[in-house]
Structure 1
Amino acid sequence: MACEVHISLGERSYPIWIGAGVLDRLPEALRGLRGWVVTDVHVDAFHGARVMGMLGAGWGKIVLPPGESTKSAGHWSGLLEQVAESKLDRQGVLVALGGGVVGDLTGFAAATYMRGIRFVQVPTSLLAMVDSSVGGKTGINLAAGKNLAGAFHQPMAVFADTDVLATLPEREFAAGMAEAVKYGVALDAEFFGWLEKNASAIQGREPAALERMVERCCQIKAEVVAKDEREAGLRAVLNFGHTLGHAIEKATGFGSVLHGEGVALGMAYALELSVAQRGFPGAEAQRAVALLKQFGLPTAPLPGLAWEVLRAAMGVDKKAAAGCVRFVLGGKLGQSDLPAAVPEAELKSAWERWCTHVIGE
């Protein structure tokens, strides 16, 4: 049974519809409007024809290459040029049909075309459903680092149809679970326990378990975004695991390591730091790493990645200040602090400990 989570942001408020079959509500939400559906080759093969059939006349489709490399200035400018050539006006709408890459790119195009037009998120990956489609962060990667160009631009609605997860590859599904586990570790210990108890149902993609998980993730994010839309404070805790995670993505060339895999590795490292710096109980850290592993995520340092390369990549992280790397760390399950600088010596020491003895192994 479908449910709704509401993001309360005054005139920028919007609903997140979650559950099996909610995609059927899309035509009503877009009645009388025109615009473009933006998707990628893989998603188009599964869902493109259905969505275009729903929307009918007045809608075109732009199909992009799949993968993180598409989240680039070149594809962003190309998307804008195609939309402009169609003479779409300020009443037009862009629909992001895809995972996090399509959602981020399409949202950034919507934020910058004619200084801002409306867009709708139709996430088709688990990671996009539980995280990137919600909250209005849009953007692209630069050669210097991940998400360094972007804008806060809220969608007019999100349609998280859990039925579409049936076509999601196992690796992509696991990557989405990293963000779900993040919410539990950083903000909600009760939800973390629920994930542990329902891991088999989630991995079996049982509809009720998927809907409940996506709903709770969106509730947590909605609560945080309502208090801090533009990441001036509280919202930064949602970056738990992302400092090293983004550095790993950059160091491996944006694509060979999925975002969720990078976040899982970043969480394992952040837990190592949290144990040493914040007194995070070792047993709880072991539980967190064990859950990541249960969902098929990497938790050990990747071979061939040098600390010096990762440290340099972290230096351009958006949370860095005056050259200091700042990490979101926690004191226990469900509790995390705002980003704070960690002594340089401890960063490397934690890396060396992690390389020689992965938590939970």
Structure 2
Amino acid sequence: MDTKKNAFLPAGEPGAEPVQLLTPDGERVHHPDHPLDIGPDELRQLYRDMVVARRFDSEAVALQRQGELALWASLRGQEAAQVGSAHATRRDDFVFPTYREHAVALHRGVDPLALLRLYRGVDHGSWPTSVHGMNIYSLVIGAPTLHATGYAMGVALDGEETAVLSYFGDGASSQGDVAEAFTFASVHQAPVVFFCQNNQWAISTPVASQTRVPIHRRAAGFGFPGVYVDGNDVLAVLAVTRAALAHARSGAGPVLIEALTYRMNGHATSDDPTRYRSEEETAHWARKDPLARLAAHLTREGLADSGYFDMVDEEAEELAVGVREQVRVLPSPSTDAIFDHVYAEPHSLVDEERAEYARFRETLTGPSS
């Protein structure tokens, strides 16, 4: 294989720098293997989507602190990785998220309130997956990579020209599920792109304790290409993911993308990152903020002014106010709801358990009206 003509393999060389198209100062640079032709409207849309996602995320954090949500997994700092990769998908592609891909969900048209209902405990994920081309969240670390691989094998057998995008984190890369997914995807040439958001920390475990080599280089051991991209550069993520999805759709098999980014908040609202991260580290990554980077580029190129930035901020604030009001009036689910949708069809064992629970509940509260 002529690696000089393979857009993915050069990034796998030891010491290679991640693919970058936009410097932290907002200067556009070109990469020989990953060109990107993008117009002003799409640039502005990328910025708008990142701002809206961040404001929605910060509102969800506030709602959890106020007792309106049981938990929240913040995406702050990872907006470029999510928005760039989501914009690379086609509507007929299918996405398998973990539990932090809020910007991806918003891009795929998922109702923001559906994400909050899940973390409030009202339901287990209620958006129609076939409509949005996106599976519901999974809190089982690493498991969605197997689901994505199975789905990708299925669409390949059906002869569909589509691709599957599977998200996971650096911590999940240590799970056996991920290794199994890599094996099946490689052997069966499944049209799946594995997208690792390397945000440096698996709760309090640093990535250095997860692997001795860069995560993207693991792909070579399974027989498919891996690429390393600056995950805070929305343009580079878009270009790399678009090429990887095209590679998968062509029948050439899977691709692994490692997007180098940073989780600015804790692993979840139950986590205190100050116990294991230094102020110097977070300040270093704050200077690489993906939103500030694209804003600087838009300003530098004369593609946006203060009026545009204010308009985007107002739109994001309107969304935040709307979800805040809607969350507070969400009804609590019925205590019987746990027995719904266990199987696709009625099941006698579930019926017995529902009746047993009803009898137990009566001993506590009396017969229900």
TM-score between the two structures when normalised by the length of structure 1: 0.32
Relative contact order, CA 8 A, sep 6+: which one is greater? Answer: 2
Structure with a larger share of its residues in strand: 1
Larger Rg: 2
